[in-house]
Amino acid sequence: MKILLTGKTGQVGWELERRLPPLGQVVAFDHASLDLADPDQIIARVREVRPGLIINAAAYTDVDRAESEPELAMQINAAAPQTLAEEAKRLGALLIHYSTDYVFDGTKPTPYLETDPPNPISAYGRSKLEGERAVQASGCRHLVLRTSWVYGLRGRNFLLTILRLARERRELRVVDDQVGAPTWCRDIAVATARLARESAARETVGLFHLTAAGATSWYGFAREILETSGLGASVMSIPSSQYRSPARRPANSLLSCAKLNAWCNIELPEWPDSLRRCLADERISNDPIGATGPPGIRTAVDRVSVSVVIPCYRCVGTIRRAVASVAEQSLFPAELILVDDASGDGTLNALRALQRDFGEDWVKVLALRENVGAGSARNAGWNAASCKYIAFLDADDVWHPRKMEIQHAFMQAHPEVALSGHAHRRIADGESVDAALMQQGFRMVSRWELLLSNRFVTPSTMVRRDVTQRFQAGRRYMEDHLLWLEIASGGLKVARLTDVLAFTYKAPVGDSGLSARTWEMRKAELSNFWYLYRTERLGFVATVALCGYSLAKHMRRVLFLARR
């Protein structure tokens, strides 16, 4: 599928261009290559690309200037979306279009619903409302997403303004009687990519609200920015009457997102959490003052020092789904290593296509000459990795969108931990990933706990690259359990995070695939115990006791399967 993206240099568009490739070939335009004030140019570009998905992330967003340029605002925010919608209908494409809280007058005391009547009080708001209506009236498949108070580390927005002013002044004066939900552009892009993936095959028509959870005023937002960034300026609250501007703003910009959550289980994080993520990892840059962003703030996609390794064997039908879950992480891993385990089908070509989509600077593809099994394939990726940490994912599984952020932050905060894993959940094909997090914390895992039970599925694990142990070559069963045992037996710390951050599509043990071979799996566990005994890391009595316990577990499993 081809995807036409407008506004690629804007806040949301810039993020989208980096998260859409798993869905297809992205053809992205900025203002220089596509002037939305020119309908003939819009038509020509769409007909050249012939996309299956159009995402309109471009808009006239200068709220005050729109008061003196209402015709231009109307042309870009209303006429252009109408043209895009008409072309989408002609092609049978899905159109995703963004709108704003400014379609409301802000007099409602509670969050606005999609069914509340709009009543814009500015030229900008009126132009955006007309754009909404044009898309809805076109008859094309569409999603209209209203959002609010968008910010990020690019372009012009409230966050960058406060960071700049805090370096220039000792005291800032900010309005405290307008409330809303500051929404990070990356959260919008990640949610949009997921919506696009899940909506591509539907007869989709809908208007939804998409904002961060929680509420604050501009003054509260400014205070949180200063506290999180560590800048020393103070901030004073003022009423809107003391801040004169050409355009009126809604006093209440809160939008209820309950409809979107009920429709596809998407709920953005609380706004302070997203702000901290925006300003947190690797934020100090070498950009000179006056570069593309404020001094001291990184303007590239946040990339954490993690190499993701995915062993791939005859996975043409699932690998794009797995890679999409990596691409949609709230913090990007620095590199993705795809290891083809001599599949002999179209898998290697699929991996090369993903490499072309994302670029060779991020995706590495290793092609093994002979089939060596998942463990040895992971070792090949591990040995090729360049980052501080290694995270493993299987080609038929997916991650929670904040897995990288949460687990990397844990490893950074606990440098004594060599291996961490987390809870996981089995889901069925077509089932949505549950984005809810309990944030229950973590606990250390002892060697004896690992001996009694394999506490981690491989897609849940992250390990320090400097760990010397590896998956044992040639093993096809329980090689992951042996590695965890070797790490723990070497005196290294192991921890388990309690949140569900990985989702596996594998059947329960005993139903299909490798897990159906219960006796082979059990023999491998017994072999693990005797290997530790032979290498003098487990005593004889303990080995015999563990083997007896393992056989008892096997008999219980056999009896359970026989009764089903």
pLDDT tens column, 102-112:
999 999 999 99
Q: Is 413 exposed, middle or buried (0-12, 13-18, 19+ CB in 10 A)?
A: exposed
Range with the largest mean pLDDT of 121-130, 150-159, 199-208, 545-554: 121-130
Q: What is the DSSP letter of 214?
A: S
Band (475; pLDDT cuts 50, 70, 90): confident
Q: What is the pLDDT of residue 289?
A: 28
CATH architecture of 303-506: Alpha-Beta Complex (3.90)
What is the number of other CB atoms lying within 10 angstroms of the CB of residue 126? 21
* Boundaries of every domain in the chain: 2-279, 303-506, 509-564
Q: What band does 246 get if pLDDT is binned at 50, 70 and 90?
A: very high
List of residues 6+ apart from 276 with CB closer than 8 A:
228
- Can you tell me the distance from the alpha carbon of 184 to that of 211, in angstroms, rounded to the nearest whole number? 9
**Strands 94-100 and 171-175, bridge-based pairing:** unpaired
Of 45-59, 196-210, 305-319, 490-504, minimum mean pLDDT range:
196-210
Residues annotated as catalytic are: 124
The dihedral sign for the CA sequence 131, 136, 137, 142: positive
As given in the structure block, the two tokens for residue 558 are 């056999």
- How confident is residue 78, by pLDDT bands cut at 50, 70 and 90? very high
The first and second tokens of residue 2, run together, are 């081809």
Q: Give the model's pLDDT for residue 513.
A: 47
The one-letter amino acid code at 454 reads N
Residue 338 has pLDDT above 60, yes or no: yes
Q: SS3 for 343-372, per residue?
A: CCCCHHHHHHHHHHHHCCCCEEEEECCCCC
Whole-model pTM?
0.67
User: How much is the average pLDDT of 338-354?
Assistant: 94
Question: Is the confidence at residue 511, as pLDDT, over 70?
Answer: no
Q: How many Cβ atoms are within 10 Å of 370's Cβ, its own excluded? A: 7
How far is CA 137 from its chain centroid? 32
pLDDT digits (tens, 9 = 90+) for 224-238: 999 998 888 999 999
Cβ atoms 449, 495 nearer than 8 A = no
Contact in structure between 153 and 278 (CB atoms under 8 Å)? yes
DSSP string, 454-485: ----GGG-EEETT----PPTT--SSHHHHHHH
pLDDT score recorded for residue 327 = 84
Burial class, 165, CB count within 10 angstroms (exposed 0-12 / middle 13-18 / buried 19+): middle
Superfamily per CATH, domain 2-279: NAD(P)-binding Rossmann-like Domain (3.40.50.720)
Average pLDDT of 273-300? 48
73 contacts: CB under 8 Å, gap ≥ 6:
60, 66, 123, 124, 127
Torsion (CA) 31, 33, 34, 35 in degrees, nearest 10: 60
DSSP string across 283-342: ----PPTTSSS-TTS--SPPEEEEEEEEEESS-TTTHHHHHHHHHT-SSEEEEEEEEE--
2-279 and 303-506 agree in CATH topology: no
DSSP 30-81: -TTT--TT-HHHHHHHHHHH--SEEEE------TTGGGT-HHHHHIIIIIHH
Quote the tokens at residue 538.
């487990």
- What CA–CA distance (Å, rounded) separates 540 from 537? 10
37, with CB counted inside 10 A (0-12, 13-18, 19+), is middle
Do 82 and 138 touch, CB atoms closer than 8 A? yes
CA distance 15 to 187: 9
Task: Look over the chain and give the mean of its residue pLDDT values, rounded to a whole number.
Answer: 88
Question: Residue 136 contacts by C-beta under 8 Å, 6 or more apart in sequence?
Answer: 142, 144, 205, 207
- pLDDT band of residue 459 (cuts 50, 70, 90) is very high
DSSP 537: S
> What pLDDT, on the 0 to 100 scale, is given for residue 286?
30
Q: What backbone phi and psi angles, to 5 degrees, belong to 417?
A: -85, 125
Give the pLDDT of residue 296: 33
| All residues at 6 or more sequence positions from 376 whose CB lies less than 8 Å from its CB, including other chains | 341, 471, 473, 474
First to last CA, the chain: 43
Residue 349: the pLDDT is 94
284 burial (CB, 10 Å; 0-12 / 13-18 / 19+) is: exposed
The count of other CB atoms within 10 Å of the CB of residue 130 is 19
Amino acid identity of residue 100, one-letter, is: T
